[in-house]
Copies of this chain bind each other. A is one copy, B any other.
Amino acid sequence: MTDVVVAGGGLIGLAVAWRAARRGLTVTVVDEAPGRGASEAAAGMLAPVTEAGYREESLLRLGLASLERWPAFAAELEAAGGLPVGLRTVGTLVVGFDDDDMRQLEALHDFQQELGLSAARLLPRAARRREPSLTSRIRGGLLVAGDHSVDGRAVHAALLAAAEAAGVTLVRDRVEGVVVDGGRATGLRLRSGGTVPAGSVVVALGAHSAGLPGLPPVPVRPVKGQILRMAGAAGLLDGTVRALVRGRHVYLVPYGEDRLIIGATTEDRGFDPTVTAGGVHDLLHDAIEVVPGVSELELAETLARWRPGTPDNAPLLGPTAVPGLVLATGHHRNGVLLTPVTADAIADLLATGELPDRAAPFTVDRFEAP
Contacts and interface: CB of A to CB of B under 8 A. Distances in A.
A277 B281 contact: no
A287 interface: yes
A271 to B, nearest CB: 15
Q: How many copies make up the complex?
A: 2
Given A277-B287, A277-B299, 14 more contacts: A230-B277, A232-B274, A274-B298, A275-B298, A276-B298, A276-B299, A277-B297, A278-B288, A278-B294, A278-B296, A280-B284, A281-B281, A284-B284, A285-B285
A302 interface: yes
Contacts of A288: 277-278, 281
A278 B302 CA distance: 15
Interface string A156-194: 000000000000000000000000000000000000000
B295 A277 contact: yes
Contacts of A295: 276-278, 281
A275 B232 CA distance: 11
28 contacts: A230-B277, A232-B274, A275-B298, A275-B299, A276-B295, A276-B296, A276-B297, A276-B298, A276-B299, A277-B287, A277-B288, A277-B295, A277-B296, A277-B297, A277-B299, A278-B288, A278-B294, A278-B295, A280-B280, A280-B284, A280-B299, A281-B281, A281-B284, A281-B288, A281-B295, A284-B284, A285-B285, A299-B302
Contacts of A278: 288, 294-296
A285 B281 contact: yes
A47 to B, nearest CB: 23
Interface residues of A, number: 21
Contacts of A285: 281, 285
Contacts of A284: 277, 280-281, 284
Interface of A: 228, 230, 232, 274-278, 280-281, 284-285, 287-288, 294-299, 302
Contacts of A230: 277
A262 to B, nearest CB: 8
A276 B288 CA distance: 11
Contacts of A296: 276-278
A224 to B, nearest CB: 13
A150 to B, nearest CB: 23
A281 B302 CA distance: 13
Contacts of A299: 275-277, 280, 302
A294 B295 CA distance: 21
A234 to B, nearest CB: 14
A297 B275 CA distance: 8
A292 to B, nearest CB: 9
Nearest to A273: B298
Contacts of A281: 281, 284-285, 288, 295
Closest 10 CB pairs of A and B: A278-B295, A281-B284, A274-B298, A277-B297, A275-B299, A277-B294, A277-B284, A277-B299, A280-B299, A277-B295
A275 B295 CA distance: 10
